[in-house]
Amino acid sequence: MAVRFGIQSVAGGQDMLVVHGSTENDSQAKAKTSSELKKKNDEKVTGSFSVPGNPKLVAGVNIELTGVGAFSGKWHVVSSTHTVDASGGYVTEAEVRKITAK
């Protein structure tokens, strides 16, 4: 059975996951496509925020946000910018991606 992976845009601006590759049966194909869909969906939950300067908030670290409702949980810092200026002091801005339970 052939299974191929890829993202294609479809009518209405929606994305469709196309999976390519080889499997031995339908259950393997379903498991493989479900796994890839979960991975692609995980990449779509992203955000950004600014906080008072924090030198530990750098790309590659994982953080846990608490007390922010639906945004509480584990996040991966994709990038961060540290700025120091006379008007705002030391500020850190971060781009993050949600870490979902496996």
Q: What are the pLDDT digits (tens) for 20-75?
A: 777 788 888 888 877 877 777 666 788 888 899 999 999 999 999 898 888 888 99
Q: Please give the Cα distance from 66 to 46 (Å, whole number).
A: 16
**Strand ranges (E), 1-102:** 6-10, 14-18, 46-52, 62-65, 73-85, 89-98
Q: What pLDDT does 94 receive?
A: 92
Q: What are the pLDDT digits (tens) for 1-21?
A: 333 444 444 455 556 667 777
pTM of the model: 0.59
